[in-house]
Amino acid sequence: MATTPCHFHRNRRVQIKTSVFGVCVLLCGLSTFGYAAPVVIPINCGNPANLVGNISVDAAGGGVSGGFTSTVGGPPPTLAAAAAACGEDHFNWYQIVTADNKPPKDAGGNQIPVPPPAYVDPPPGGYSNQWADQLPWYWDETAPAPGTPNYDPGLQLSAQTTVDTLKFADFPGGAPGTNLSFSTWLVSLNADGSFHSWHEGFSWDWTNASGSGVASNITSLGKGVFPTDAQYKNIIGGFKTAVPIPASVWLLGSGLLMLMRRRSKV
């Protein structure tokens, strides 16, 4: 049968309808299995501002996961190139819990008060069942002495970093009825772990209303929306501001100084 223009248009309409139906079925199927479109947040650095990468996070399986992936350097792109474009050493995350009706205990066994004020996740030293370093950043920048209880090397920054991506993952838990809200920002740090500058972030919720946890409402906090004093300066009092210099390095330094002094005397 020859295809007339009329036949062609009708066939196209049928094809388009079929495609739209197919996409709807696919989207419905994906939403049924808990997959939604990830939230993508562009990160710009420099003057004039240039895109250095994107945060992409998604809710699935009772938590939030994703990361910041560099789009600069190489090719292929690298996190180091993104950090250099931002004039800093490396990236990490800064996360606060803005709502928590059943807060945990800190590393000292003290009950964390119900927010407000928000608390940093993890608090200095971590939780009663989880070691964390003394910096306010999400992934640990330093490791404890061997044998330290409740230490998980999988929470080290190095374990959550690839050549081009800083990963993010959080799968909270709590008794039925627990309701949590988080705000999470990408942060630029100096080599010693001290703060350099903020980047954009996202907020999200977690609830255990029905006996199994669900993460939801991942929302970009907006361009240029960084932590307020109430979300950072006012709540980081118990943290260190940089990685402490090990005593062995002080010893090395003093040894070198002593050597130089002796040589200058001679």
Cα 56 to Cα 69: distance, rounded to the nearest angstrom: 8
Of the pair 73, 172, the CB lying nearest another protein is at: 172
Q: What is the CA radius of gyration of the chain?
A: 24
For 75, the token pair is 């090719």
Query: Under the criterion CB under 8 A, does residue 95 sit at the interface with another protein?
Result: yes
Q: Is residue 207 near another protein by the rule CB under 8 A? A: no
| Contact set for another protein, span 3-62 (CB under 8 A) | 58, 60-61
User: How many whole angstroms separate alpha carbon 224 and alpha carbon 200?
Assistant: 6
Q: What angle do CA 156, 161, 162 make, to 5 degrees?
A: 150
* Contact between residue 97 and residue 116 where contact means Cβ atoms under 8 Å apart: no
Q: Contacts with another protein in 54-93 (CB under 8 A)?
A: 58, 60-61, 63, 65-67
* By CB under 8 A, residue 251 contacts another protein: yes
Nearest approach in angstroms of CB 33 to another protein is 11
Q: Decide whether 3 or 263 has the Cβ nearer to another protein.
A: 263
Reference 63, options 202, 207, 220; nearest CA is: 207
Of 67 and 73, CB closest to another protein? 67
Q: Are strands 195-207 and 214-220 parallel, antiparallel or unpaired?
A: antiparallel
Identity (one letter) of the amino acid at 123?
A: P
Residues that bind another protein (CB under 8 A): 58, 60-61, 63, 65-67, 95, 97, 102-104, 121-122, 127, 129-130, 132, 138, 143-146, 150-156, 158-160, 162, 165, 167-176, 178, 180, 213, 246, 248-249, 251-252, 254-256, 258-259, 262-263, 265-266
